[in-house]
C-alpha cells in the first residue's frame, strides 16, 4: 500500500535531505594523508572514483600502492571518517583497488619531484635537513638508546624526524622504537614505517627473523645508499644515523654520501671508552665533517637510598673526549650532556617505549630531552650554504 512517509534519509532532517556535492567530498578526501607517505591521497592519485546517491550514500574508490598494503585498514578508516563529516552524507562505502604499474611509476616520479634518477636528497645543495651521525668508538656505550630517544624527543616537539639504522650488523633501532612493521615498496621507492612519529628504516626490516647479516664492505655501502636514496623520507627537519661502532666502512660511506652530515660522539665516563671514542670522533678531520658535541652516557647512577650519584664507570670521560677532539679538530667541541644510569632507560629500549616519552621527567629522560633541545634548536636555514649566485656587472 502506498504511503506518504518520506524516506529515512529525509526524515533525519535537513542535513541529510540534500546529498553532498562531489567537490565537498573531494575536499574532505584532501584532508586524508597516506599514512606512509604523509601527503594527501588526492595529491598522490589514490582517489579512483567518487559516487554519490540521492539518499546521501557516498561510494569512494581508493587505489592502494600495492596489493599487500599493511595500512589498508587505516586508510579505509581515515577515508570513512573524513567523508562522514561532510554535510549531507548518510553512509560511506570504501572500495579498495591497486595501482597499475604505470600509476606506480607516476607516483614515484611525483614523489621525486619529477626526477627519475636516484639521488641522496640530504646531500643536495638546497637541503635544509640537519643530518646527525651518532657515533661511538666501541660497542655497549648505549649509542642506539641515545639515538632512539633523541629522535623521539625531537618528534614529540613537533619536528619531522627520520632514523637510519646504519649499524647493519648490530641493528636494534626497530625494537627500541617498538615497531615490527615492514616497509612498503612502490616501484623502486621504499616507504618507511613510523613509530612514535619517527620514520625509521633498518636492515632488520628486510631479513627473516633474527638472521645475521654477513656482508663485505661494498654491500654495506650499497645498503646505506639505498636507505638514503631509495627511501621516501619526505621533508625532514632532522635525520639521525645510528652508526656502527668504530671507524669502518659505514663511517666512510656516510662521509661520501652525505658530506654535510655532522657527528655526535657517544662515550661513557670510563677512560678506556673515552680513548676509543676520541679516536672515532677524530675521523672528522679526514672526512671534513663537523663534530656537534659529545654525549656522556652511563654518567653515574643515583643511589636508590640517598640519591647521591655513584660513579660506576668513573668520571670525566665525556669531558676528556671533548677536550681531545677540540685539540685535534681545532674547533670547540662541547659536552652536550650526561645521561645517568637509569633502569627505565633500559626497560624502555626493551619494550619499545623511549624513556623520553614514557617517563620524560626521570633523570635519564630529562637529560636526553635537554640534549635533544640543544641539537633541535639549530634551526633549518641557508646560513653557510652556497646559493649559486653570481655577481652582476649591471650596477
Residue 378 or residue 221, greater confidence:
221
Structural domains of the chain ordered from first start: 12-109 (3.30.300.130), 121-376 (3.40.50.300)
Cell of 204: 632488520
DSSP letters along 286-307, please? HHTPPEEEEEEES--EE-TTT-
Mean pLDDT of 59-71: 83
Q: Give the mean pLDDT of 164-183.
A: 90
Residue 361, phi then psi, degrees to nearest 5: -95, 5
Q: Cα 183 to the chain's mean position, in Å?
A: 13
Backbone angles phi, psi at 40, to 5 degrees: -55, 140
Q: What is the pLDDT of residues 224-272, one digit of tens each?
A: 888 999 899 989 999 999 998 877 788 888 888 998 999 999 998 887 7
> What mean pLDDT is predicted for residues 94-117?
77
Exposure on the CB side of residue 196, measured as CA atoms within 13 A: 28
Separation of alpha carbons 218 and 311, rounded Å: 42
- In the structure grid, which three cell numbers stand for residue 18, read together? 540534500
| Percent of the chain topping pLDDT 70 | 87
> Which residue would you say has higher pLDDT here, 255 or 209?
255
63 bridge partner residues? 97
The pLDDT mean for the chain works out to 84
Query: Model confidence over 302-351: pLDDT tens digits?
Result: 777 777 777 777 678 889 989 988 988 888 999 999 999 988 999 999 99
Residue 91 has pLDDT above 80, yes or no: yes
Highest mean pLDDT among 41-45, 57-61, 116-120, 391-395: 57-61
Please check whether residue 37 is in contact with residue 83, taking contact to mean a CB–CB distance below 8 angstroms: no
The residue with greater pLDDT, 68 or 255, is 255
105, pLDDT greater than 70: yes
Q: In this predicted structure, what is the pLDDT of residue 315?
A: 79
Determine the pLDDT at residue 114: 62
- Residue 50 pLDDT > 80, yes or no? yes
| Cα end-to-end distance, the chain, whole Å | 90
Q: pLDDT tens digits, residue range 360-376?
A: 999 999 999 999 999 98
Give the pLDDT confidence score for residue 378 in this predicted structure. 63
At CA 205, angle to CA 203 and CA 207, rounded to 5? 75
Lookup: cell for 238: 632532522
DSSP 8-state assignment for residue 231:
B
- Is residue 11 very low, low, confident or very high in pLDDT (cuts 50, 70, 90)? very low
Given a cut of 50, whether residue 44 has pLDDT beyond it is yes
Q: Can you give the pLDDT at residue 108?
A: 76
Q: What are 107-166's pLDDT values in tens digits?
A: 877 776 665 556 888 988 888 999 999 988 878 888 999 999 999 999 999 999 999 998
Helices (H), the chain: 8-11, 14-17, 22-29, 72-84, 101-111, 143-156, 173-177, 217-229, 249-257, 271-281, 283-287, 317-329, 343-351, 355-358, 363-376
User: How confident is the model at residue 1, as a pLDDT?
Assistant: 38
Confidence band for 380, pLDDT divided at 50, 70 and 90:
low
User: Per-residue pLDDT for 299 more than 60?
Assistant: yes
* Cα–Cα distance measured from residue 90 to residue 19, given in angstroms and rounded to the nearest whole number: 8
User: Does residue 338 sit in helix, strand or coil?
Assistant: strand
Strand, helix or coil at 59? strand
Per-residue pLDDT of 260-298, as tens digits, reads 999 999 998 887 777 778 777 777 888 888 999 999 999
The arithmetic mean of pLDDT across residues 178-196, rounded, is: 87
Q: What pLDDT score does 116 carry? A: 53
Buried b (16+ CB within 10 A) or exposed e, 169-180: eebbbbbbbbbe
For 119-148, b/e burial (b = at least 16 CB within 10 A) is ebbbbeeebebbbbbbbbbbeebbbbbbbb
Cα–Cα distance, 117 to 190 (Å, whole number): 15
Instruction: Say whether 243 sits in a helix, a strand or coil.
Output: coil
Is the pLDDT at 85 greater than 70? The verdict is yes
Percent of the chain with pLDDT over 90: 43
Amino acid at each position: 500500500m502506498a504511503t506518504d512517509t518520506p524516506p529515512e534519509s529525509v526524515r533525519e532532517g535537513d542535513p541529510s535531505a540534500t546529498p553532498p556535492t562531489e567537490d565537498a567530498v573531494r575536499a574532505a578526501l584532501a584532508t586524508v594523508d597516506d599514512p606512509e607517505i604523509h601527503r594527501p591521497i588526492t595529491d598522490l592519485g589514490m582517489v579512483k572514483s567518487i559516487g554519490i546517491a540521492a539518499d546521501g550514500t557516498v561510494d569512494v574508490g581508493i587505489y592502494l600502492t600495492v596489493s599487500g598494503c599493511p595500512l589498508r585498514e587505516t586508510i579505509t578508516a581515515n577515508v570513512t571518517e573524513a567523508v562522514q563529516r561532510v554535510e549531507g552524507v548518510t553512509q560511506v562505502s570504501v572500495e579498495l583497488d591497486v595501482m597499475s604499474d604505470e600509476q606506480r611509476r607516476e607516483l614515484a616520479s611525483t614523489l621525486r619531484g619529477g626526477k627519475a634518477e636516484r639521488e641522496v636528497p640530504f646531500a643536495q645543495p638546497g637541503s635544509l635537513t640537519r643530518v646527525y651521525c651518532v657515533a661511538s668508538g666501541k660497542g655497549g656505550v648505549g649509542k642506539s638508546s641515545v639515538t632512539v630517544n633523541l629522535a623521539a624527543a625531537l618528534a614529540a616537539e613537533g619536528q619531522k624526524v627520520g632514523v637510519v639504522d646504519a649499524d647493519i650488523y648490530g641493528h636494534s633501532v626497530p625494537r627500541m622504537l617498538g615497531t615490527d612493521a615492514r616497509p612498503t615498496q612502490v616501484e623502486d621507492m621504499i616507504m618507511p614505517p613510523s613509530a612514535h612519529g619517527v620514520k625509521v628504516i633498518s636492515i632488520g626490516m628486510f631479513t627473516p627473523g633474527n638472521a645475521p647479516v654477513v656482508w663485505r664492505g661494498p654491500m654495506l655501502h650499497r645498503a646505506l645508499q639505498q636507505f638514503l636514496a631509495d627511501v621516501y623520507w619526505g621533508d625532514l627537519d632532522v635525520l639521525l644515523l645510528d652508526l656502527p661502532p668504530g671507524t669502518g666502512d659505514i663511517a666512510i660511506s656516510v662521509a661520501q654520501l652525505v658530506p654535510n652530515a655532522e657527528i655526535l660522539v657517544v662515550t661513557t665516563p670510563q677512560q678506556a671508552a673515552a680513548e676509543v671514542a676520541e679516536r672515532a670522533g677524530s675521523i672528522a678531520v679526514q672526512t671534513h665533517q663537523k663534530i656537534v658535541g659529545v654525549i656522556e652516557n652511563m654518567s653515574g647512577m643515583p643511589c636508590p637510598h640517598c640519591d647521591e650519584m655513584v660513579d660506576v664507570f668513573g668520571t670525566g670521560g665525556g669531558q676528556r673526549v671533548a677536550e681531545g677532539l677540540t685539540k685535534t679538530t681545532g674547533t670547540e667541541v662541547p659536552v652536550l650532556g650526561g645521561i645517568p644510569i637509569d633502569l627505565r632507560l633500559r626497560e624502555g629500549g626493551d619494550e619499545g617505549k623511549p624513556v623520553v616519552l614514557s617517563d620524560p621527567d626521570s633523570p635519564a629522560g630529562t637529560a636526553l630531552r635537554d640534549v635533544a633541545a640543544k641539537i633541535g634548536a639549530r634551526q633549518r636555514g641557508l646560513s653557510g650554504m652556497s646559493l649559486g649566485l653570481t655577481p652582476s656587472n649591471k650596477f
